[in-house]
Chains A and B, each alone.
Chain A
Amino acid sequence: MSERTFLGYKRANGTVGVRNHVVVLPSVMCANHVVELIGRKVPDVITIGHPTGCAQVGADFEQTKRTMAGFAANPNVAAVLVVGLGCETNESKALAEEIAARGQRVEVIGIQESGGTTETIARGVAIAQELLREAAAHERTACPLSALIVGTECGGSDGFSGITANPALGYCSDRVVAEGGTVILAEVPELVGAEHLLAERASEPVAAKLYEMIERVEARARAMHVDIRGGNPTQGNIAGGLTTIEEKSLGAAYKGGSSALREVVEYADRPSERGLVVMDTPGQDIEQLTGMIAGGAQVVVFTTGRGTPTGSPIAPVIKVATNTTMFERMRENMDVNAGTIVDGTRTLEQVGDEIFDWIIEAANGREPAAEALGFRDFAINRIGPSF
């Protein structure tokens, strides 16, 4: 373990943020417009919009609520204003209580209780301004790298993903783990065919849970009588040279590096172990990103071959290109070029070190492309229909 540190925001609950956002979150989609209008009057807050929060039941509702609470309590967030309607399934005060239970500063207002749109916006603006004043008092201090949870993701993969960017990220992941930090490997459908390589590095109960998650994916394919090829790998993956889900998975699994798999967690759950952790998310990029951040990831590293601009409203997302052609074509969206590995100008380890340094710089406040461009992608993985 090195003595390297980063300058983070130490939160009251013991977690460490790398950003200091105030978030305005609708508990239900019926509050999206009011949230957006609060954001127009107070542009320094981060507003979220989503199509969930009502007429949901069972595990689907629980997952939606857990994701919102985890996201709102991410240490990159200093405080949260929840805006509800008043009759929604995802009752705004109960959501606020769950956020508070995670040690987060939270306020809540309701549109019906406030007497309509205009008064809710007025109240929301006043609260948002007060939360911003409070947040401004927080300062960055030196924090150990072991406080970091780094989410890993690949999107728009191609035939180079498993040769350049993902192995380089894996080298970086091993460095994060060696520092006592945590790395999340997710997109479980994109581990189908590579699960045995992870299971070899896990205890028996952790391996059993991983196999159970993989079986859920294949059981869904059986229930739908479909070959998952076409949906995954996508048409773009196939155009980029990936032929089957096994091939994509073997390349994707490199992102996690070579350390022991310590834990397997459900979507949006915060890991309780440090080291390499698998989270059950779909391969769909935005739902995966949201799930990892709801699970506490402060920084995300995202590899891409085809060129994916995705970014989070609250966490820096570092983009690593798998090939030089795309890196140059989409220069404004990319941060690191791993194509240099096959160009022969840099080694895999050099690119891995650049990603590691980028993580620390991003933690210190440097904005990667997706953050500088203002991306606010947010989507919750649904596991049941609306009723």
Chain B
Amino acid sequence: MPLSDDGAALHLKDDDDVAVALRPLAAGTAVRFGDGAGVSVATEIPTGHKFATRPIAGGALIRKYGQVIGRATGPIAPGEHVHVHNVEGTRGRGDLAKGSS
């Protein structure tokens, strides 16, 4: 599990689009993972929440644990908070079933 250089965040798998904050990260905090390019978090990220580690296109599938956890509802920039405001589930979506309003 690659930790960020200062141990503040965790990037679980190489092809993940997101990292998890291990403590509250103030807006503007720079987070760097080993040799990879660092990101600066855009807004405060609460503990246990996710931020993007690379650009995510609107409509793209988002990966954590190396697996799909949902779809971006709009473009997400590196360092942005990734949560219910910009990610929708792809499963259990009975609201998308035929006949739903």
In this complex, the member of B21, B82, B95, B99 whose beta carbon has the largest number of chain A beta carbons within 10 angstroms is B95
User: Do residues B47 and A225 form an inter-chain contact, with CB atoms below 8 A?
Assistant: no
Write the B7-27 contact mask toward A (1 if CB under 8 angstroms, else 0). Answer: 100101000000011100000
Question: Is there a chain A Cβ closer than 8 Å to B60's Cβ?
Answer: no
User: Do residues A250 and B97 form an inter-chain contact, with CB atoms below 8 A?
Assistant: no
User: Do residues A246 and B95 form an inter-chain contact, with CB atoms below 8 A?
Assistant: no
Question: Is there a chain A Cβ closer than 8 Å to B69's Cβ?
Answer: yes
Question: Is there a chain A Cβ closer than 8 Å to B90's Cβ?
Answer: yes
User: Do residues A218 and B94 form an inter-chain contact, with CB atoms below 8 A?
Assistant: yes
User: Do residues B69 and A305 form an inter-chain contact, with CB atoms below 8 A?
Assistant: no
Residue of A nearest to B100 (CB): A225
User: Do residues B12 and A163 form an inter-chain contact, with CB atoms below 8 A?
Assistant: yes
Question: Is there a chain B Cβ closer than 8 Å to A193's Cβ?
Answer: yes
User: Do residues B48 and A227 form an inter-chain contact, with CB atoms below 8 A?
Assistant: no
Q: How large is the interface on B (under 10, 10 to 19, 20 to 34, 35 or more residues)?
A: 35 or more
Residues of A within 8 A of B50 (CB): 159, 241, 243
Question: Is there a chain A Cβ closer than 8 Å to B88's Cβ?
Answer: yes
State A220–B97 Cα separation when bound (angstroms).
11
Question: Is there a chain B Cβ closer than 8 Å to A238's Cβ?
Answer: yes
Question: Is there a chain A Cβ closer than 8 Å to B67's Cβ?
Answer: yes
Residue of A nearest to B64 (CB): A247
Whole-angstrom distance between the Cβ of A326 and the nearest chain B Cβ: 10
Whole-angstrom distance between the Cβ of B7 and the nearest chain A Cβ: 7
Question: Is there a chain B Cβ closer than 8 Å to A222's Cβ?
Answer: yes
Whole-angstrom distance between the Cβ of A41 and the nearest chain B Cβ: 48
State A36–B101 Cα separation when bound (angstroms).
48
Q: Say whether chain B's binding surface is mostly helix, strand, loop, or mixed.
A: loop
Q: Say whether chain A's binding surface is mostly helix, strand, loop, or mixed.
A: loop
Q: How large is the interface on A (under 10, 10 to 19, 20 to 34, 35 or more residues)?
A: 35 or more
User: Do residues B91 and A241 form an inter-chain contact, with CB atoms below 8 A?
Assistant: no
User: Do residues B20 and A163 form an inter-chain contact, with CB atoms below 8 A?
Assistant: yes
Question: Is there a chain B Cβ closer than 8 Å to A185's Cβ?
Answer: no
Residue of B nearest to A344 (CB): B7
Contacts A159-B47, A159-B50, A162-B65 given; does A245 touch B20 at CB 8 Å: no
User: Do residues B10 and A193 form an inter-chain contact, with CB atoms below 8 A?
Assistant: no
State A159–B10 Cα separation when bound (angstroms).
11
Whole-angstrom distance between the Cβ of B95 and the nearest chain A Cβ: 4
State A162–B10 Cα separation when bound (angstroms).
12
Q: How many residue pairs bridge A and B at CB < 8 Å?
A: 111
User: Do residues B69 and A224 form an inter-chain contact, with CB atoms below 8 A?
Assistant: no
Question: Is there a chain A Cβ closer than 8 Å to B49's Cβ?
Answer: yes
B14-51 residues at the A interface, CB under 8 angstroms: 20-22, 46-50
User: Do residues B65 and A224 form an inter-chain contact, with CB atoms below 8 A?
Assistant: no
Residues of A within 8 A of B99 (CB): 225
User: Do residues B69 and A193 form an inter-chain contact, with CB atoms below 8 A?
Assistant: yes
State A250–B62 Cα separation when bound (angstroms).
13
B51-101 residues at the A interface, CB under 8 angstroms: 64-65, 67-70, 82-84, 87-97, 99-101
Contacts A163-B10, A241-B49, A250-B67 given; does A227 touch B20 at CB 8 Å: no
Question: Is there a chain B Cβ closer than 8 Å to A78's Cβ?
Answer: no
Residue of B nearest to A221 (CB): B94
A179-233 residues at the B interface, CB under 8 angstroms: 189, 192-194, 197, 217-218, 220-229, 232
A148-173 residues at the B interface, CB under 8 angstroms: 158-160, 162-163
Contacts A158-B48, A163-B10, A241-B50 given; does A228 touch B94 at CB 8 Å: yes
Contacts A247-B69, A323-B47 given; does A192 touch B7 at CB 8 Å: no
Question: Is there a chain B Cβ closer than 8 Å to A260's Cβ?
Answer: no
Contacts A159-B49, A229-B84, A323-B48 given; does A243 touch B69 at CB 8 Å: yes
State A238–B85 Cα separation when bound (angstroms).
11
In this complex, the member of A163, A194, A220, A344 whose beta carbon has the largest number of chain B beta carbons within 10 angstroms is A163
Residue in contact with B92 in the complex, picked from A160, A162, A194, A221, CB distance below 8 Å? A221
In this complex, the member of B49, B65, B92 whose beta carbon has the largest number of chain A beta carbons within 10 angstroms is B92
In this complex, the member of B20, B50, B69, B101 whose beta carbon has the largest number of chain A beta carbons within 10 angstroms is B69
Given contacts A227-B96, A243-B87, A246-B69, 11 further A-B contacts (CB under 8 A): A159-B20, A159-B47, A159-B49, A194-B67, A218-B91, A228-B93, A228-B94, A229-B84, A243-B89, A244-B87, A244-B90
Chain A interface (Cβ < 8 Å from any Cβ of B): 158-160, 162-163, 189, 192-194, 197, 217-218, 220-229, 232, 238, 240-241, 243-247, 250-251, 305, 323, 325, 342, 344
